[in-house]
Structure 1
Amino acid sequence: MSDVASQPSRLSSIAVLTSGGDAAGMNAAVRAVSRSAARRGIDVYAVHEGYHGLVTGGDLIRRMDPAETDGILHRGGTVIGTARSREFRTREGRLAAARNMVERGIDALVVIGGDGSLAGANQFRQEWSGLLAELVDTGAISAEIAKAHPFLRLTGFVGSIDNDMSGTDMTIGADTALHRIVEALDALHSTAASHQRTFVVEVMGRNCGYLALMSALATAASWVFIPEQPPAEDWPAQICRHIKADREIGRRHSVVVVAEGARDRDGNRITSEHVRALLEEGLGEDVRITVLGHVQRGGAPSAFDRYLATHFGYLAVERLIADEANRPPELIGLQNNRVVTSPLMDCVAHTQQVAERMNSRDYDGALRLRGRHFRESYRITQTMQQAAPRPVTSDRHFRIAVVHGGGPAPGMNAAVRAAVRLGLNHGYTVLAIKNGFKGLRNGDIQEMDWIDVSGWVSEGGAEIGTNRYVPEHPAAIAETAEQIAAHHIDGLLVVGGWAAYRAAHELHRHRRQYPALDIPIVCVPLTVNNDLPATELSIGADTALNSIVVDVDKIRQSAVATRRVFVVEVMGHDCGYLALMGGLATGADRIYLPEEGITLDGLAADVKALAERFRAGKRVGVIVRSEGSDRVYTTGVITSLFQKEGGQLFDARQAILGHVQEGGNPSPFDRVQATILTARCIEFLSEQLESGGRASAMIGFQGGELRFTDLTRYPELVESDVQRPVEQHWINGRELAVVMRD
C-alpha cells in the first residue's frame, strides 16, 4: 500500500521570487508564471524582496492576479524586488520561510536568480521535510499541514547579465546588457575618432568574459581582456604595438574593452586604470576611461530577453505541475535554440568548475568549458582585430566574391566586413560585387582591402548595395557567367534574403551549361523576414524585432490615456515570424499570421473578447498583424471593424511600421552572428577551393547548430506558392502566445 502522506496534494499554489542582482526580463518571467498558472487554475504568490520576503512573510508574500502583470513586460529590473538575505542562509531563516509558505498552502517555488540563489533554493528543498517536522514539534504548524505538503516542488532559471551559468546558452538579462554596452561603445567610437583618442571601457561580467568578448566583436574594438584567456606575458608591449599599427594604416581611434574580472597569467587583476596608464605612456596620447557600471543592468529588456523569459516562465509552471515524484530540481535553460530542462545542481557544479579552472590557471580548460561558440568568437575576434592580414606563404591564389541579394537587412555590412578580412587573412583576393546580382551581370565589381571595411560592423543598410534582381532568363545567366569568368571568380559568397537564394540556385543549376558557374557558392541568411530554407533564424530578424518592440512600447504609452486599440502591421511577406515573436515580446492581445489566415468568425470572437476585457478595466489593446495574413482582411479593414464594434469602450487606430523595420544599426546578436556565419562560410569556400571541390551550400541554424545544406535541395525546402520554407520551427510558439494573451 502506498504511503498517502508521501504523496503531494494537487498543485494549487506557486510562489515566485527574484533574487540576487536584477536583470532585464525578470518582469517578463514573473508575468509568464502568473499567466501560465492562472490558465491552469493555480494561484500565484509573488514573494517581494527575494529571500528576505520569503523569510519575513506578511505582506511581502501576497497573491498576484494576472491582471496585475499588465504593463510590466516592457519594464526593466523586477517589480517584485530583489534582495540578498543573510537570514535565509541560516536554518532559523529557512524555518521561517517554510512556515510562511505552508501557512499559505504553498509547496511549489519558482526561483529566478543566479547560481547562488538557485543553490540556496536547492538546500531549502533538501531540508524541507526536516524543517516541517521541526515546525510541528515546536507547535508552529499542525501535523495535518505538514502532511499536506510533504515535499517542496522547485524549479528555476537564471536571471543574470553575466551569462555565466552552465545548462543554458543564454541567461535572462545578458542580451539586454549587451545592447547597453554596444550602444555605449558605438557612441564612444564616434567621439574617439573625432579626437584621435583611445578609450578604455570596463564592462561587467564578474569572472565571465561573455559581455566583454561579444561587445568587442560587435563593435570592432581594438583589444579585449577577458578572464578566460589572460594575455601573453609581454602584453603591455603588444597592445601598444597593435594600436600604433592601427594608427599607421589610418585608423583614428581605438577602444579597449576590459572585463571586470580580467587578470594576467600570474593572477593579478588587469584594471582599466592600469591599461589607461600603460597606453598613455606607450602611445604618448590622451587615453580616457569609461566604466559603464550598473547602466548595463538597466533599461527596457530586449525583444530576445522578453521572449526567452516568457518561455522560461511558462515551462517552469508546466514542470512544477508535472513534478509528482519529488525528483531533483531542474534548471530551465536555452540549449541549441531549444528551451530545455537540466538537473539544477549538475549545472551549478559545472559552472563552478570554470572558476576552479581559472583559479588553477588552467585557462585553456576554462575556455573549453565555456563552449564552442565562446571559443570560436574569441578566435574570430583575434583575427578581426589585426591591423593587417597575416602573411601567407601558399602559392595557390584564389579570388572570392561577395554579393548581396534581396531587401536590405541589418548585419549585411558586418558580413561583408568579415568576408573581406577573413578572406584576406587566408591569402585570397576578395571582390565586392556592387548592387546585387544586377551588378554582377554588369561587371560592377571592386577589389577590397583590409581598411576598406573599417567601421562597417555597426552600420545598417548595405554599403555595396542590394536589390531583388534574379538572373532567370538565358541571356542574364550567360552574361553573369561571362563576368564571373572575366573576373576570375573562384568562389561566391551570397549574403541576403529570398531573392539572393533564388539567384544563387539559378547560377548553381546552370553550372553544367556554363563552366564559369561551376564554382563553390555558399549562401548566408540575411533578411528581416526569417523566411529562408535550411535555417531556423535569419540574420537581421533580431534587429527588426527590437525595432518593433521599441515602436509598440511607444504606441502602448500613447494609447493608455485614451482607451484605445492599436492594430500594428509588421513585415514578413508570407512568413509570420516577426508578427508572432513581436507579439509575444510586446504582450499583444491578438496575433494574425499568414500561416493561419484570418476569418470573419475569428475576428468577431476577438472583438468580443477584447470588449469584455475593456469592460473589466483594460485601458490599451495591441493587435499585431503580419502584412501577408489575408488579402481581404487588411490592417485597415480590421481597424475599422474594431473601431465600429468598440463603441464607447475603446476606439481603434492602425500603425503600419513599414520599412523602418529594415533600418537602423544592427543589434549585437545580428553583428556577432553575421560575423560567425560568414567565418564558417569562408572556411567552407576555403576547403572547397583548396581541395578542388565544387560543392555549393546554404548555412543556417538547425537545432541550434550551424549546418550546411546542399544548395541543390533549395526547391524542395520551400513552399511552391508562397515565400516561406516548408519547415518553420518558430511556429511552435503559437501556443505560448495563446497562453500569454488570456
Structure 2
Amino acid sequence: MKARNNQLNIIGIVGSIDNDFCQTDITTGADTALHRIVEAVDAIATTATSHQRAMVIEVMGRNCGYLALVSALALEATFTCNHIICDLILANKFFDVYYGCCGDLVFPESPPGNDWPEFLCQKIEIERKNGRRLNIIIVSEGALDLNGKQITAQNVKKIISEKAKRDVRLTILGHIQRGGHTSAYDRILGSRMGATAVEVLKENTQNAESCVLAINGNQISKRPLMETVKQTQSVGVAMDKKEWDKCLELRGKSFVRNFKTFKSIHRIYSGECDKSKGLRFAVIQVGEPSPGMNASVLSFVRHMIIGGHTVFGIRDGFDGLISGNYHEIKWSDVNNWTSQSGALMGTSKVPPDMSEQQLETVAKHFKSFQLKGLLVIGGFRAFQLAIKLIEVRNHFVELKVPVCIIPATIDNNIPGTDFSLGTDSTLNKITNLCTDIAVSLRGTKRRLFIIKIESHFCGYLTVLSAVASGADYCYIFESNFTIDSVKADANNIKTKMLSDDRNRLIIVYMNGKANIKLQTKTIAEIYTEEGNGVFITSFVDLANLQQSISPSPFDRILAIKFGYRCGDWLLNNLQSNNAVVIGIIEKRYTFSNITDLIPQTDFEYYF
C-alpha cells in the first residue's frame, strides 16, 4: 500500500475575488464580485443622475486593478484609480491617450505625473458639456500615484469638490462586493474546474508536476504551480520598482485588452474632430432584443467618432432599413447605454426573403448616405440579412461594402462564435429565479420542479442553466430522448427521493423545443404519474421572465470589446467587401467569413 500511495498529487483551483493570479483570465469569485459592484453602482446611479452628482466608488482589489478596471468599463466610468491603472495613466507612455482627442492633434509627450487631479477635473467638465449628468470615479483600495503616494477615495472626493466645484458623494462598497448570489459564470466555472481537476488527477503519472488550472478564453488548461506562483509574486516586485509596463505584461493578455479598450473609448472628447478625411458607416439592430446590444453600439460609435468618422443609426431595424430612417449618432446620444437592456435604436424581425424592390430601395439609401460599411447587431435574423446582402451584391453595386455581425441572442445559435451577447445575462436571471424557488420551498418535502426555458432549438442555455442550478436532468433538442427514457429518469428521481427523509428540491430543465413529438406538458405529466405518492411535480414556464432587465458585467464588457473590434475591422477592410461574424472561438477573437459559415449552419432548426 505504501508503494502504491507514495506520491501526493496537487491540483490547484484559484479562488479570489481580486483576480490577482497570473496566467489565467479570471479566478473563481471575481465575476460574482464584479456583479455586486455593478449592481451597487447601477442602484446609486438612478438618484445620482437626477441630482447631477459625481460619485466616487471605492472597491476592493488589494494590489490588483482588475475589479476597478473592468467595473469602470461596465459602468462607463469617467476615471479609474488603482494600483496599476492610475500609474499607467500618469506614465508618459500612456498619458497621450487620455489627453488626446482625435484627428491630427498633438499629444503632450512628457506630462508631469502629479497632474492627475487637473486631468480628472478637466474630464468631468468636458463630459458635463457633452450631456452627461453623472460622473462615476472608481477608486481601488490600493491606488497609488506615479510617485508611490497613496490615492484615497476621500482625497479624490476632496479634489472634485474643491477644484471641479461639483456635488460629490463617496461610497465605500467594502464587504458588500463579497456577498450575494454566486453568478452563473462562477457556478459554471467552478463546476468545470472541479470536473477537470478530477480528470487531471486520474491521468497523473508518477512524479507528475503539481499544477494549477487556468482558463483562457473558454478553454481550461494546466499550468505549472510553482511557475504561476512565482510570476504572481513578481508583479509585486515590479510594482516596488515602478516598472509599470512589466506590471501590465505580467497581468496577462486579457488584462491588457481590457486596459486598451478602456483607454480607447474613454478619451477626452471635446466635440471637435477633423472629419475632412472621415468615412460614413451605419449600425442596425435586428431581431429579438438581447442584453448587450446597446453597449456594443456605444463602443462602436465612440471608437469611430474619435477616428473622425460618422455613424448613422438605422432606427427600427428592418423597417428603418427600407424606409430610410437613418440618423447620425452623436457622442452624447449614447450616454449611459452600457447599462441599458433591450434595443434602444429599435428593432424588427427580418423576413426570410426580401423583394428585389426592397433591396433596390436599400441600395439607394446606401448610395444617398455614402455608406462605406455596415455593422449588424442581432441573432439569426442578422445572419440572414447579411447573407441576403451578399447574394445581391452583383446586382446592386452600392451594397458592395464590408459587413460585420455582432452575435446578440440569448439562444446563442449563431455560427462562428462560442459566445453571443445576452446569454450570460439570461443565465444569471434563470439561475436567480431557480434559487428563489428553492429558498421559497424550504421546509417542504419531496418537491420536483420542471422548468421550461425558451431557447428554441438550441440547447446551450438549457444545459448551462442546469449546470449552474444543480439540476438532475435537462432535455434539449440535440439529445435523443423518448417516453421510455423520461419514465426511467422519473423512476431514478423517485429512488433518490426515497433514499432518505431529507427535504429535496429537484429541478428538471427542459428546452422549449426539446422534442417535436413530446410536448413539455406531456413530460410534466409523465413525472406526475411516475411520482404519484412519492413526490409532487410542479411545472414552471419561465417564458419572458428569463429576460434580464440589465446586462450582466460579462455581456457589457464583451459587447464593448466586440463593438470596438468591429470598428477596427471595418476600417481595415474597406476594399474587401467581405461579410463576417465576430466571435470568440476557444482562446481567440475571430472574424469568420459568412460564406464559410453557411455550409456549417442548420437553417431548418434555427428558430
Normalising by structure 2, report the TM-score. 0.92
C-alpha deviation, 1:391, in angstroms: 5.4
Question: Aligned partner of 2:404: which letter?
Answer: V
What residue is the counterpart of 1:718 in the other structure? Answer: 601
What residue is the counterpart of 1:608 in the other structure? Answer: 491
Q: Is the 8 A contact 1:240 1:282 kept in 2?
A: yes
Give the 3 Å change call, closer, same or farther, for CA 385–599 of structure 1 in structure 2. Answer: same
Which residue of the other structure, out of 56, 63, 66, is the alignment partner of 1:210? 66
SS in structure 1 at match of 2:269 = coil
C-alpha deviation, 1:412, in angstroms: 0.7
SS in structure 1 at match of 2:290 = coil
SS in structure 2 at match of 1:524 = strand
What residue is the counterpart of 2:562 in the other structure? Answer: 677
Alpha-carbon distance between aligned partners in 1 of 2:4 and 2:157, rounded to the nearest angstrom: 60
Which residue of the other structure, out of 576, 587, 604, is the alignment partner of 1:693? 576
Tell me how large the CA RMSD over aligned residues is: 1.7
C-alpha deviation, 1:354, in angstroms: 1.9
Q: Is the 8 A contact 1:212 1:258 kept in 2?
A: yes
Which residue of the other structure, out of 195, 198, 214, is the alignment partner of 2:51? 195
What residue is the counterpart of 1:265 in the other structure? Answer: 146
Q: How do residues 543-582 of structure 1 correspond to structure 2 at under 5 angstroms?
A: 543-560=425-442, 561-582=444-465
Question: Aligned partner of 2:388: which letter?
Answer: E
What residue is the counterpart of 1:640 in the other structure? Answer: 525
Alpha-carbon distance between aligned partners in 2 of 1:151 and 1:711, rounded to the nearest angstrom: 52
Alpha-carbon distance between aligned partners in 1 of 2:149 and 2:580, rounded to the nearest angstrom: 47
Percent of pairs with identical residues: 35
Alpha-carbon distance between aligned partners in 1 of 2:499 and 2:354, rounded to the nearest angstrom: 57
Give the 3 Å change call, closer, same or farther, for CA 457–269 of structure 1 in structure 2. Answer: same
Unmatched segments (≥5 aa) in structure 1: 10-149, 725-742
What residue is the counterpart of 2:27 in the other structure? Answer: 171
Question: Aligned partner of 1:331: which letter?
Answer: V
What residue is the counterpart of 2:18 in the other structure? Answer: 162
Question: Aligned partner of 1:330: which letter?
Answer: C
What residue is the counterpart of 1:450 in the other structure? Answer: 331
Alpha-carbon distance between aligned partners in 1 of 2:404 and 2:283, rounded to the nearest angstrom: 10
- Rg larger for: 1
C-alpha deviation, 1:387, in angstroms: 4.9
Give the 3 Å change call, closer, same or farther, for CA 680–351 of structure 1 in structure 2. Answer: same
Question: Aligned partner of 1:159: which letter?
Answer: G
Alpha-carbon distance between aligned partners in 2 of 1:437 and 1:152, rounded to the nearest angstrom: 62
Question: Aligned partner of 1:672: which letter?
Answer: I
Q: Is the 8 A contact 1:198 1:253 kept in 2?
A: yes
Alpha-carbon distance between aligned partners in 2 of 1:695 and 1:356, rounded to the nearest angstrom: 47
What residue is the counterpart of 1:588 in the other structure? Answer: 471
Which residue of the other structure, out of 341, 355, 358, is the alignment partner of 1:473? 355
1:463 correspondence with 2:344: yes
1:8 correspondence with 2:4: yes
SS in structure 1 at match of 2:23 = coil
Q: Is the 8 A contact 2:415 2:600 kept in 1?
A: yes
C-alpha deviation, 1:321, in angstroms: 2.7
The structure whose RCO (Cα within 8 Å, separation 6+) is larger is 2
SS in structure 1 at match of 2:389 = helix
Per-residue CA distance 1:640-670 (angstroms, 9 max, x = gap):
1111111111111111111232331000000
Give the 3 Å change call, closer, same or farther, for CA 530–451 of structure 1 in structure 2. Answer: same
Question: Aligned partner of 1:181: which letter?
Answer: I
C-alpha deviation, 1:693, in angstroms: 3.4
Question: Aligned partner of 2:149: which letter?
Answer: N
Question: Aligned partner of 1:309: which letter?
Answer: G
Question: Aligned partner of 1:663: which letter?
Answer: S
SS in structure 2 at match of 1:707 = strand
C-alpha deviation, 1:386, in angstroms: 3.7
Per-residue CA distance 1:687-736 (angstroms, 9 max, x = gap):
123xx332221111111210111122231121242218xxxxxxxxxxxx
Q: Is the 8 A contact 2:466 2:474 kept in 1?
A: yes
Question: Aligned partner of 2:456: which letter?
Answer: H
Question: Aligned partner of 1:444: which letter?
Answer: N
C-alpha deviation, 1:396, in angstroms: 2.3
Q: Is the 8 A contact 1:391 1:427 kept in 2?
A: no
SS in structure 2 at match of 1:467 = coil
Alpha-carbon distance between aligned partners in 2 of 1:518 and 1:334, rounded to the nearest angstrom: 40
Which residue of the other structure, out of 390, 395, 412, is the alignment partner of 1:508? 390
Q: Is the 8 A contact 1:528 1:661 kept in 2?
A: no
Question: Aligned partner of 1:440: which letter?
Answer: L
1:240 correspondence with 2:236: no
Alpha-carbon distance between aligned partners in 2 of 1:502 and 1:436, rounded to the nearest angstrom: 13
Alpha-carbon distance between aligned partners in 1 of 2:582 and 2:315, rounded to the nearest angstrom: 22
C-alpha deviation, 1:248, in angstroms: 2.1
C-alpha deviation, 1:576, in angstroms: 0.2
Alpha-carbon distance between aligned partners in 1 of 2:184 and 2:570, rounded to the nearest angstrom: 34
Q: How do residues 244-393 of structure 1 correspond to structure 2 at under 5 angstroms?
A: 244-388=125-269, 392-393=273-274
C-alpha deviation, 1:388, in angstroms: 2.4
Q: Is the 8 A contact 1:390 1:425 kept in 2?
A: no
Q: Is the 8 A contact 2:386 2:579 kept in 1?
A: no
Question: Aligned partner of 2:219: which letter?
Answer: R
SS in structure 2 at match of 1:456 = coil
Alpha-carbon distance between aligned partners in 2 of 1:435 and 1:632, rounded to the nearest angstrom: 36
Q: How do residues 83-94 of structure 1 correspond to structure 2 at under 5 angstroms?
A: none
Question: Aligned partner of 1:451: which letter?
Answer: S
1:408 correspondence with 2:289: yes
Alpha-carbon distance between aligned partners in 2 of 1:484 and 1:238, rounded to the nearest angstrom: 41
SS in structure 2 at match of 1:625 = strand
Q: How do residues 52-67 of structure 1 correspond to structure 2 at under 5 angstroms?
A: none
Q: Is the 8 A contact 1:199 1:254 kept in 2?
A: yes
Question: Aligned partner of 1:655: which letter?
Answer: V
1:219 correspondence with 2:75: yes
Q: Is the 8 A contact 2:130 2:271 kept in 1?
A: no
Which residue of the other structure, out of 536, 542, 555, is the alignment partner of 1:657? 542
Which residue of the other structure, out of 508, 527, 533, is the alignment partner of 1:623? 508
Q: Is the 8 A contact 1:511 1:518 kept in 2?
A: yes
Q: Is the 8 A contact 1:220 1:384 kept in 2?
A: no
Q: Is the 8 A contact 1:505 1:714 kept in 2?
A: no
What residue is the counterpart of 2:588 in the other structure? Answer: 705
C-alpha deviation, 1:389, in angstroms: 6.2
Alpha-carbon distance between aligned partners in 2 of 1:265 and 1:390, rounded to the nearest angstrom: 30
C-alpha deviation, 1:584, in angstroms: 0.2
What residue is the counterpart of 2:94 in the other structure? Answer: none
Alpha-carbon distance between aligned partners in 1 of 2:578 and 2:251, rounded to the nearest angstrom: 32
1:522 correspondence with 2:407: no
Q: Is the 8 A contact 1:592 1:629 kept in 2?
A: yes
Q: Is the 8 A contact 2:37 2:173 kept in 1?
A: yes
C-alpha deviation, 1:246, in angstroms: 1.6
SS in structure 2 at match of 1:458 = coil
Alpha-carbon distance between aligned partners in 2 of 1:394 and 1:356, rounded to the nearest angstrom: 45
What residue is the counterpart of 1:180 in the other structure? Answer: 36
Question: Aligned partner of 2:228: which letter?
Answer: C
C-alpha deviation, 1:392, in angstroms: 4.8
C-alpha deviation, 1:547, in angstroms: 0.7
SS in structure 1 at match of 2:573 = helix
Which residue of the other structure, out of 655, 658, 666, is the alignment partner of 2:551? 666
Alpha-carbon distance between aligned partners in 1 of 2:57 and 2:275, rounded to the nearest angstrom: 39
Equivalent residue pairs, number: 578
What residue is the counterpart of 1:488 in the other structure? Answer: 370
1:430 correspondence with 2:426: no
